[in-house]
Amino acid sequence: MFLSRRHAAAGLLALGGAALPLTRALAQPTPDAAGAVDETPARVDTGRDAFEHMMAPVTINGQGPFQFLMDTGANVSCVSRDLAQRLMLAALPPRRVHTVVGVRERPGVLIDTLKVGDRSRRGVHATALALDKNLDGVLGVDWLDGQRLEMGFKAKSLAITRSKIDVAKEGAVAVVPARRRYGQLTIVDADLGGKRINAMIDSGSQLTICNYALRAMVSAANRRSGASDAYSRVGMETLLGESFSGELIYLPFMRLGGLQLGNVPVVYSDMHVFELWGLKDKPAVILGMDLLTQFDTVALDFGRSQVRFDLAQTPTPRAPLGA
């Protein structure tokens, strides 16, 4: 099948400096990162766009609010080209923009003050992108230096707070260890049928996506069990409107720490972003909003390198992909 943009939008923006080689781009500290980090707790009500992304109100240079997408797959924030022109943001040298399908060079801009709730940041070096007209920008994990992001899907809220200790509660809360990888958190306690895999959380992608190495594991398991290895074709677009395709498959069993997940729909597409993150030859899955919104809350703690999943007390029915 070929899904419409409404049902298969993928974000996965990763931004880096033009002077660095491709494999090191995400490791570059942004020019404004040397300043003091604002640790003021921030909590805002959020909305959803047509692709189920989490949207947060943001003010720029005292104007707004503007609607920004919260993207845990992006290590640097960006602003739409139209908004940058409207606000007459000062120009900066171009920067490389990595999406799931490739790399492009885009104009840089300077934001004097960017504010989310009560938290503000000055001198933000951002990138101006040709985004959808209903999207003003993207909030990346550069806001989360050693701190904590709580995405409240049930409460429709977003919070940035100091790192804190989480305690697992059987049947209610799962706390999963992770490691820092180029600014993002990668879950380390994850496996597929008992074999270790890498799992990254990307709130900028509507769908959960895997690479070839993980797809091969599923195919091998299907052959051993005699199960069908049939798949459906899926068409998708990045936030920049770039088209790509993949295969819709189902993971028979996946474990994330104390979470046991079965029959998980994922899209296989061996994309540029896996090579960028050093995961091309390692089984890896990128957890998108279709899976994340099955939980009440997902909290990424960059200070303690762990992810907390609050299990939904009443599971949300999963809508058919072709609906």
Give residues with Cβ within 8 angstroms of 244, minimum separation 6.
10, 100, 101, 235, 236, 237, 238, 269, 271
Among candidate residues 3, 47, 55, the one with its CA nearest the CA of residue 237: 3
Mean pLDDT across 9-14:
47
pLDDT tens for each residue of 292-309: 988 999 999 988 999 999
pLDDT tens for each residue of 57-80: 999 999 989 999 988 888 778 899
- What is the model's pLDDT at position 1? 30
pLDDT at 322 over 90: no
pLDDT tens for each residue of 90-120: 999 988 777 666 677 888 999 999 999 888 8
- What is the model's pLDDT at position 37? 58
- What is the model's pLDDT at position 50? 61
Secondary structure in 3-state letters for 235-298: EEEECCCCEEEEEEEEEEEEEECCEEEEEEEEEECCCHHHHHCCCCCCCEEEECHHHHCCEEEE
How is residue 226 annotated by DSSP? T
Mean pLDDT across 144-157:
88
What percent of the chain is modeled with pLDDT above 70?
82
- What is the model's pLDDT at position 109? 93
- What is the model's pLDDT at position 224? 85
| From 182-191, 218-227, 281-290, the region with the lowest mean pLDDT | 182-191
Among candidate residues 305, 313, 289, 293, the one with its CA nearest the CA of residue 166: 305
- What is the model's pLDDT at position 8? 42
pLDDT tens for each residue of 245-283: 788 999 888 888 878 888 889 999 877 778 777 788 899
Give residues with Cβ within 8 angstroms of 150, minimum separation 6.
157, 158, 159, 160, 161, 297, 298, 299
Tokens of residue 66, six digits = 């503007």
Mean pLDDT across 131-152:
85
Mean pLDDT across 154-175:
89
pLDDT tens for each residue of 16-50: 332 222 222 222 333 444 345 567 778 888 887 66
Per-chain mean pLDDT for the chain = 79
- Which of 215-224, 241-250, 308-317 has the largest mean confidence? 215-224
Give residues with Cβ within 8 angstroms of 86, minimum separation 6.
none
